[in-house]
Chains A and B, each alone.
Chain A
Amino acid sequence: MSDRYLNLVNSPVGARVASRVGLPQPAQLRRYTTGDRLLLAPALLGSTTGKPTAALRKLLSGAGAEVLDEIAEGVRVGALVLDARSVKTPADLGAVREFLGSGVRALSSSGRVLVLGRAPDGASITAATTRQALEGIVRSLAKELRRGSTANLLWVEDEASLPSALRFFLSGKSAYVDGQPLRLGAGKAPAPKDWEQPLAGKTALVTGAARGIGAAIAAVLARDGARVIAADLTIAGDSLAKIANKLHGTTLHLDVAAAEAPERLLDHLAAHTDGLDILIHNAGITRDKLLANMKPEHWDAVLAVNLESQLRINEALLGSDQLNAQARVVCLSSTTGLSGNRGQTNYGATKAGVIGMVRASAPAFAAHGASTINAIAPGFIDTEMTAKIPFATREVARRLSSLQQAGLPIDVAEAAAWLASPGAGGVNGQVLRVCGQNLVGA
């Protein structure tokens, strides 16, 4: 579904009118297509120590960025990368203001601000205070940025996942990820042979793959080299077959909420694969009603599909020999799970529950050959599901984010593909919001 307003304000006349009367001016976001450069302009690298490390410079240029130490007059930069891991006292934050404050003027459209910090926990009171302050800076700056630019924060406990994180957060793949902190921990995060095919040789299963976000995830995983098993209800089998055939994948008719679903899934994996490397829990339904009017069957159906199925399938996989080492599980949550939504107590329960599930499951997956489990919380994404929202409500909802537009299924898919990649092995038990910094929720 096209965003007519977005197209209008990006036309010469529309842009002038919107600017005069103070209407929102969403930008066309830079999104990744195969072969794209990491950035369209150089990256400015800075450090709160005054001198960025050679190692970080090497990582950045290895990821494909042209690295600058300072900006000449009139030069545009595609990204500002600040290593703020050294901050210990509030006074140190002045260096953050100075670097970002001057750099942001040179930032091109769809630019990237990426701050590397250290996680607050375990530090002295003053250091923890200072480190946490970075989050406030990044979240606020994200709201100030215009023309499709984003700001995000990486809590770097371990650098293993930094190469792949830089590639995700600086490229068009993170177009709709804005104002988010994410923790990079220890874990096995091997570099792929080919960064254009990070999932080569991997077997991936996507539930709810017949349409919308699930279909987009299946397509991006296949683009990145995975053999995709597209799973959905039998009733969706017609479009599922078309998707699988397009992606050179296979279909699996599976009702994830059925009692026998875990067993059937394990049987399928045993018969058709050499074990599963990637599982995307995407299948989900809504049955919206105010809690006072909520029917038990609507409550139960949403919980069964969106939450209980994930718990049961994860448990079955961990207890089987069908989940390979360094497996990646990505679970679809929602900003509704963080902020709540009127009429969605059942849906909100499942989406918050998923976040609890990935946090609580992370150690078990880490113990399973350094596997990971993470959640993605999409904000307002243009899909067949959101197309059913009344026009006015939809138009307002679309603008309620820093990027002033809805995301696309591809934005969620890019995040899922990154979390599913070998290089993201240091990300475990985390929730990544893909919401354009939605104004509601955390």
Chain B
Amino acid sequence: MNTRRAAIVGGNRIPFARSNGPYAHASNQDMLTATLDGLVARFGLQRERLGEVAAGAVLKHSRDFNLTRESVLGSRLAAETPAYDVQQACGTGLETVILTANKIALGQVDSAIAAGVDTTSDAPIAVHEDLRAVLLAANRAKTLGGRLRALSGLRPQQLVPAIPVNSEPRTGMSMGEHQAITTLEWDITRAAQDELAAASHRNLAAAYDRGFLDDLLTPFLGLSRDQNLRPDSDVEKLAKLSPVYGKAFGENATMTAGNSTPLTDGASAVLLASDEWAAAHKLPVLAHFVDAETAAVDYVHGNRKEDGLLMAPVYAVPRLLARHKLSFDDFDFVEIHEAFAGTVLATLAAWEDDDFCRRRLELDGALGSVDRSKLNVNGSSLAAGHPFAATGGRIVATLAKMLHEKGGGRGLISICAAGGQGVTAILEA
């Protein structure tokens, strides 16, 4: 069967906002629709019937069961464009790119939008589990008496709503607490984490200043830059912050609000197509999607150090590199999602660890070091913020543009996700 490489034409996102900030009253559908419309405007896709739109949100209302399709219907795209929802935690955005790129590669579609959106402000709130049971029982009852009997089970404490929390169902621990263990186990210092965070802010601010973001975003609700970005951030200021995760480790607690991503609202979208479709529509090709690899770790029962919740990309990347006979030296850019500065640094440390790589990755030695001058050169999630499902689209569009600007090259993407998963991919231009 003949396959072809999917082209990345470009992207659009709205500036990311801090939780309960400017987008507090915007729903996932509002943000995704605005993001799609910005993409439509950038590339002249009004009334265009695309092959498909794949998108998702991590925090989703039950009424948004068809979030992507509803957003397409509300956008300027042709109503005949099919759509579906995807959910793979923080890997959602990159996973939608993988799915649509594969369909383009197989010739099943010629064009597609891969997107993601998340709001932690307009989050779904569920009723108390006992209350839900009572209400469902009342609904099942066939007689008035039966309904009253069921409702007599109502208790005041059931009125406390169930608010979604950023924690793993199987451990009850938040993502930050999980990462705090990993950070400690891999001996990642506070200074190194703060240095990475400062670099992220510095790099993203410089990218804005030189107009790099001009054709990657469209302002929304009065915001034209990521709200979390602090151009004047530096290691001295970051060093003053108190730890927020791993406080049980006392003096060894290193993770602060400065070197961890905040809760964020936002959306992103990427336009993918076959080369022929792009040429026929007189649209540029920034880069091509090469391949992807997803891994998962047993963070529930596994090794405290080596199977940390956010360590799965450590396992995905070597498999991806081996399949293409590539090493880190073959990459011009490396984008590692900054869920926490500790995540990035622990990932890099693992790849540099000879023993770990031999034992767990079944390599002949350490996978290698990533040249820091290639890492997240236009900033990443610590500066931009991290609306869970929107991060993948942000990184793919950013990397594609970087490769295009460079006039060619190769880039690696690594994104960790809740549930002990990791989604990674290669782009080439």
Contacts from A to B (Cβ < 8 Å): 227, 234-238, 240-242, 244-245, 248-255, 258, 260, 264, 271-274
Contact = CB atoms under 8 A, between A and B. Distances in A.
Range class of the B interface residue count: 20 to 34
Contacts of B213: 234
Contacts of B41: 240-242, 244-245, 249-251
Nearest to A274: B282
B276 interface: no
Question: Which one of B43, B214, B220 has the highest number of Cβ atoms from chain A below 10 Å of its Cβ?
Answer: B214
6 contacts: A234-B213, A234-B214, A238-B219, A240-B41, A253-B215, A271-B283
B284 interface: yes
Interface in B33-83: 37-38, 40-44, 46-47, 76
B224 A251 contact: no
B179 to A, nearest CB: 34
Contact of A249 (B44, B215, B218, B220): B44
Given A253-B214, A254-B214, A258-B211, A234 B282 contact: no
B214 A250 contact: no
A255 B44 contact: no
Nearest to B222: A238
Nearest to A272: B282
B90 interface: no
A264 B282 contact: no
A241 B284 contact: no
B11 to A, nearest CB: 13
Nearest to A251: B41
B217 interface: yes
A237 B211 contact: no
Contacts of A254: 214
A240 B40 CA distance: 12
A237 B224 contact: yes
B284 A245 contact: no
A210 to B, nearest CB: 10
A240 B217 CA distance: 12
A11 B60 CA distance: 56
A237 B44 contact: no
Contacts of B217: 234, 237
Contacts of B43: 250
Interface string B145-164: 00000000000000000000
Contacts of A264: 211
Contacts of A251: 38, 41-42, 218
Closest 9 CB pairs of A and B: A241-B41, A271-B284, A253-B214, A244-B41, A250-B44, A237-B218, A251-B41, A235-B224, A238-B219
Question: Which one of A237, A264, A271, A272 has the highest number of Cβ atoms from chain B below 10 Å of its Cβ?
Answer: A237
Contacts of B37: 241-242, 245
Nearest to A273: B282
Contact of B38 (A237, A248, A249, A260): A237
A320 B213 CA distance: 25
Contacts of A238: 218-220
Contacts of B211: 234, 255, 258, 260, 264
B288 to A, nearest CB: 16
A248 B41 CA distance: 8
Interface string B250-284: 00000000000000000000000000000000111
A168 B171 CA distance: 75
B219 A234 contact: yes
Given A240-B41, A242-B41, 17 more contacts: A234-B211, A234-B219, A236-B219, A237-B38, A238-B218, A240-B218, A241-B42, A244-B41, A248-B44, A248-B47, A250-B42, A250-B44, A251-B42, A251-B218, A255-B214, A264-B211, A272-B282
Given A234-B213, A250-B41, A258-B211, A245 B76 contact: yes
B42 A234 contact: no
Contacts of B220: 238
A252 B215 CA distance: 7
Nearest to A270: B284
Question: Which one of A227, A236, A258, A271 has the highest number of Cβ atoms from chain B below 10 Å of its Cβ?
Answer: A271
A237 B46 contact: no
Given A237-B217, A238-B218, A260-B211, A248 B224 contact: no
A274 to B, nearest CB: 7
B46 A248 contact: yes
B321 to A, nearest CB: 31
A241 B38 contact: yes
A248 B43 CA distance: 10
Contacts of A236: 219
B38 A272 contact: no
Interface in B187-219: 211, 213-215, 217-219
Contact of A245 (B40, B214, B282, B283): B40
A239 to B, nearest CB: 9
B40 to A, nearest CB: 6
Contacts of B47: 248
Contacts of B44: 227, 244, 248-250
Contacts of A271: 283-284
A254 B211 CA distance: 9
Contacts of B42: 241, 250-251
Contacts of A252: 215
A249 B46 CA distance: 8
A235 B218 CA distance: 8
A145 B306 CA distance: 88
B75 to A, nearest CB: 9
Contacts of B40: 241, 245
Contacts of B215: 252-253
Nearest to B215: A253
Contacts of B214: 234, 253-255
Nearest to B282: A272
Nearest to A236: B219
Nearest to A260: B211
Contacts of A237: 38, 217-219, 224
Contacts of A249: 41, 44
Given A250-B44, A253-B215, A272-B283, A234 B224 contact: yes
A262 to B, nearest CB: 13
A222 to B, nearest CB: 11
B70 to A, nearest CB: 18
B361 to A, nearest CB: 41
Interface in B224-265: 224
A234 B215 CA distance: 8
Nearest to A229: B44
Contact of A272 (B46, B76, B218, B284): B284
A258 B211 CA distance: 9
B36 to A, nearest CB: 10
Nearest to A255: B211
Contacts of B284: 271-272
Nearest to A235: B224
Contact of A241 (B218, B224, B282, B283): B218
A13 to B, nearest CB: 44
Contacts of A241: 37-38, 40-42, 218
A253 B208 CA distance: 13
A43 B402 CA distance: 62
Interface in B283-301: 283-284
A241 B13 CA distance: 12
A241 B215 CA distance: 12
Contacts of A242: 37, 41
Contacts of A258: 211
A272 B42 CA distance: 10
